[in-house]
Amino acid sequence: MTPPSQRVARLAFRDGVFSEGQRAIPEETAVALVYDGGTQAVMMATPADIEDFALGFSLTEGIIAALSDITDFEIVEQANGIEARMWLKPERSQALAARRRNLAGPTGCGLCGIDSLQEALRAPRPVMSDLTVTPAEIEAALASLAPAQALNRETRAVHAAGFWTKEQGLVALREDVGRHNALDKLAGTLAGIAGFSAQGIVVLTSRISVELIQKTAMIGAPIMVAVSAPTALALRLADQAGITLVGIARGDGFEVFTHPQRLVPEPLSHVA
């Protein structure tokens, strides 16, 4: 498999001086998601955790309801990209044929090629949960990302999506050049964990757009935390889905946009 990063020569200019050297940059590869011999989507992605990506995309796009809906799986590296080939149970195959679309988009494009406004703005799955967290736990979830972002430490050019719980801390994290791809990879990883419970926090290193709300709702997580702000549409969908949306999450605090009842007041750990 193509490595997820490579080192390239570069000429740097800092402090008034040019210097030669190398920098690690992330790789980007076309990944075709193929079901029963037909290509459903082609996404530009980091060539790592491809199985997680394919399974997560299948789940968050509603192509399958459970991993058991896939009867066979194969990853095939071609000269110009990677094919993730999946074969579905008959009922899922028939349902997919009824909604088949082709989608070829740039890095992390989550809506390119959608064939109707209704599909693009599909109502998110309702999330029911009585989970509550403190500001200190939000802070801990956010702080858990950086130490686990190996590819970003190397390249400074990829997004991360993580899942954090009170009991386990950071359960899993996946990285990709596309923010939607990172979340799909995370969804695929979580789906493969025996006895997985979605009672935790999805943590993102990106802005919050509508597709990320829809995918988080499909995972079933009641709280999303991101370092940037949501779009207005993402906020409305998070409210509709019952997701507590936390944005602008940095070292000095955060902002809560929807369903604040899940936040239990408590000083942040670094505040006297």
**What are the beta bridge partners of residue 163?**
172, 202
Token look-up 């604040």 returns 260
Nearest to 219 by CA among 163, 150, 153, 159: 163
In eight-state DSSP terms, residue 130 is -
- How far apart CA 158 and CA 175 sit, in angstroms, is 6
CA distances from 56 to 19, 62, 189 (A): 42, 10, 7
Find the catalytic residue in 109, 140, 143, 157: 109
112 is catalytic: no
Parallel/antiparallel/unpaired status of strands 244-250 and 169-176 = unpaired
Cβ contact 15:147 at 8 Å: no
Structure tokens that stand for 202 in this block? 């999805």
Listed in order, strand segments (DSSP E) in 205-271 are 223-226, 244-250, 253-258
Which pair of tokens denotes residue 141? 């979830």
- β-strands 38-45, 81-88 pairing: unpaired
Query: Are the C-beta atoms of 190 and 157 separated by less than 8 Å?
Result: no
> Which residues are bridge partners to 174 per DSSP?
161
How far is residue 212's CA from residue 176's CA, in Å, rounded to a whole number?
A: 14
101: number of CA atoms within 13 Å, CB side?
14
- Give phi and psi for 205, each to the nearest 5: -100, 20
The catalytic residue positions are 109
